[in-house]
């Protein structure tokens, strides 16, 4: 009897071990979901290289979870199962029973409780009261040297002297310096993607995903990302995640081992996008031109996703929802927005808003012209296609606004008049206060270099950034005069001074900074913190006056506060009189320069190449 019992126990143990091993052989995307979600019909993509899913059956036995359909693919490594999670379902492990070729395999798929029950605010969105600090984790600070290299990953580079190698920055390094960001008045953190990039090279930027559901191990993995998110929210700050829907990395498992031939946009030979946004809205455009624009690949290393494949669409939308719930994301910056299928983007944006009504998204719409840009967001134009994206990254106020304002000689159609003209087209947007304005980013020449390394011009641009309508985004290092021309782009992605042990300069402690760098840092901090406390700037309206002789004046105001912004783009000082702006200055007897603290009389002289931010008083 004892012998039979022993044999039976060994048999049960072998079944358990077999179940555990086969459980590990099957991966599920997403690996878990959440109870009480509005998106309760979840399409789970199953993958295994040791199971023939074309011959497999799947059963689910869990209270409140119903198997609706099993979807098979040309590639037998995959199946997609449609599950319905009822409102009565409880957290726990849902067992997926997969039968194939006479063997039965058990796979756990987890239902988790909602993050909302954990007591931390998230999915808050961003608005005009926010100030976004934008950085590249690999180039900001190395807080954990143990993850600089990870065995098994393709890119094993680690050399700070080479612009395209990894430098070792990580999420712990970012968390270590949240005080620095808050001291500058920043309320929100946006980073280049933190998702796994197991590519052979150029992994420092993060835009070529190889596994959506894995956080980059060289940044510290999911634990470090969750820890950073929790710390941001504990401080009352917000987290923006960088979304890439348009493409993936060439070494993504869904490229190397695609479920179906139409998972990607396939061409007879490599076909690159034309980058011609006009064909998307041009009423006379050829359909062939539209196809190449939208379906062409970005590079040979970044295959283009086919959003018209419903399985691809569900995979991407569910990943976005899963990310918000898992990591407490507050909003999205969407990469290469105009190259996505726009109907898919509307579907994705709606799914996120249905689940998280306060969440906001802003898209990289790198186009030429305000109307072109407005087309891709919520707008007031009468066009056949209507976007539901809340806002763009505002390239127009950069390229056709602040840059010509400070770099061109003033005339009737040059110089600062361009900034006025660009803003005058805000009537095209449903809500231009949601536009994210900026001076530079990881893809373009740094602001200081754009302005000819003129610190006075950069200060004017910084003051404009902090006072104009919209949500300011500051690229790391602009505040300490980091420079670089984006040819190649590695020159604008240098390491942040002080982010590594042994750096000669340390921005965080202010040791080793030159007087000019220190002055610029303090100037930025002064403006950022004033902005944070100013109702006129964070919630108020804007009024601008037509520039005259290189002088541009605009106001931000509420019923209780008025801020006057005076931009002198000339090479000589200019006299200013409140009386010329009576519509906004009547009743005020003077003001205070918020940077210097000096009192300002109704008639005053503004120095050359200066933007004075003046809070008016009665």
Which residues does 9 contact at the CB level (< 8 Å), separation at least 6?
none
Distance CA 420, CA 545 (A): 8
Q: How far is CA 444 from CA 72, 189, 389, 395, 540, in A?
A: 44, 20, 24, 11, 31
CB 384 within 8 A of CB 375: no
Answer left, alpha or beta for residue 96, where phi above 0 means left and psi between -120 and 50 means alpha. beta
Q: How far is CA 265 from CA 255, 262, 336, in A?
A: 11, 7, 16
The rounded Cα 279 to chain-centroid distance in angstroms is: 26
Q: Which of 330, 364, 479, 615 is catalytic?
A: 364
Catalytic annotation on 549? Answer: no
Catalytic annotation on 364? Answer: yes
User: How many C-beta atoms surround the C-beta of residue 411 within 10 A?
Assistant: 9
The DSSP annotation for 56-119 comes to -EEEE-BTTEEEEEEEE-SSTTEEEEEEEE-TT--SEEEEEEEEETTEEEEEEEEEE--GGGGT
Q: Which of 335, 394, 495, 615 is catalytic?
A: 335
- Tokens describing residue 80: 């997609």
Instruction: Give the SS3 label for residue 244.
Output: coil
> In 3D, which of 563, 569, 570, 572 has the Cα closest to residue 592?
563
What is the 3-state composition of the chain as percent helix, strand, coil, each rounded to the nearest 5? 35, 25, 40
Active site residues: 335, 364
């Amino acid at each position: 009897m004892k012998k039979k019992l022993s044999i039976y126990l060994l048999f049960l143990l072998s079944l358990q071990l077999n179940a555990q091993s086969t459980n590990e052989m099957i991966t599920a995307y997403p690996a878990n979901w959440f109870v009480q979600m509005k998106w309760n019909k979840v399409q789970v993509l199953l993958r295994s290289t040791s199971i023939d899913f074309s011959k497999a059956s799947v059963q689910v036995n869990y209270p409140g979870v119903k198997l609706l359909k099993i979807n098979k693919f040309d590639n037998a490594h995959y199946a997609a199962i449609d599950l319905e999670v009822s409102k009565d379902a409880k957290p726990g492990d849902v067992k997926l029973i997969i039968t194939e070729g006479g063997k039965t395999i058990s796979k756990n798929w987890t239902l988790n409780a909602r993050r909302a029950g954990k007591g931390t605010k998230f999915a808050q969105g961003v608005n005009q009261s926010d100030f976004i600090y934008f950085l590249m984790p690999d180039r900001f600070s190395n807080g954990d040297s143990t993850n600089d290299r990870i065995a098994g990953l393709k890119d094993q580079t680690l050399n700070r002297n080479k612009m395209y190698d990894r430098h070792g920055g990580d999420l712990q390094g970012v968390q270590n310096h949240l005080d620095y960001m808050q001291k500058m008045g920043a309320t929100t953190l946006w980073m280049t993607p933190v998702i796994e990039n197991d590519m052979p090279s150029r992994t420092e930027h993060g835009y070529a995903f190889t596994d959506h559901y894995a956080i980059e191990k060289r940044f510290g993995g999911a634990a470090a990302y969750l820890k950073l998110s929790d710390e941001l929210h504990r401080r009352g700050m917000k987290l923006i995640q960088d979304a890439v829907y348009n493409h993936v990395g060439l070494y993504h498992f869904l490229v190397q081992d695609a479920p179906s031939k139409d998972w990607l946009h396939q061409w007879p030979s490599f076909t690159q996008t034309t980058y011609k946004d006009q064909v998307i809205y041009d009423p006379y455009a050829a359909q062939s031109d539209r196809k190449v624009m939208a379906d062409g690949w970005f590079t040979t290393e970044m295959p283009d996703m086919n959003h018209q494949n419903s399985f691809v669409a569900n995979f991407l939308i569910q990943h976005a929802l899963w990310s918000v719930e898992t990591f407490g994301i507050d909003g999205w910056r969407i990469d290469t927005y105009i190259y996505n299928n726009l109907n898919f983007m509307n579907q994705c944006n709606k799914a996120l808003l249905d689940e998280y009504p306060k969440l906001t998204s802003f898209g990289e719409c790198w186009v030429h012209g305000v109307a072109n840009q407005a087309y891709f967001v919520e707008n007031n134009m009468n066009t056949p296609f209507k976007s539901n994206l809340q806002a763009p990254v505002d390239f127009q106020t950069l390229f056709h606004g602040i840059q010509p304002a400070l770099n061109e000689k003033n005339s009737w159609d040059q110089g600062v008049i361009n900034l006025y003209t660009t803003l005058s087209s805000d009537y095209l947007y449903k809500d231009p206060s949601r536009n994210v304005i900026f001076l530079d980013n990881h893809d373009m020449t740094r602001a200081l270099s754009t302005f000819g390394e003129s610190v006075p011009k950069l200060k004017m641009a910084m003051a404009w950034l902090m006072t104009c309508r919209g949500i300011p985004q500051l690229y790391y290092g602009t505040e300490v005069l980091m420079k670089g021309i984006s040819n190649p782009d590695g020159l604008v992605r240098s390491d942040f001074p002080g982010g590594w042990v042994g750096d000669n300069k340390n921005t965080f402690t202010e040791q080793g900074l030159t007087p000019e760098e220190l002055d610029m840092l303090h100037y930025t901090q002064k403006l950022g913190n004033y902005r944070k406390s100013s109702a006129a700037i964070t919630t108020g309206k804007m009024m601008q006056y037509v520039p005259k002789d290189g002088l541009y004046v605009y106001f931000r105001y509420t019923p209780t506060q008025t801020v006057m912004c005076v931009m002198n783009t000339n090479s000589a000082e200019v006299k200013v009189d409140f009386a010329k702006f009576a519509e906004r200055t009547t009743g005020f007897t003077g003001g205070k320069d918020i940077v210097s603290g000096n009192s300002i009389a109704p008639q005053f002289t503004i120095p050359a190449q200066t933007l004075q931010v003046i809070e008016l008083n009665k």
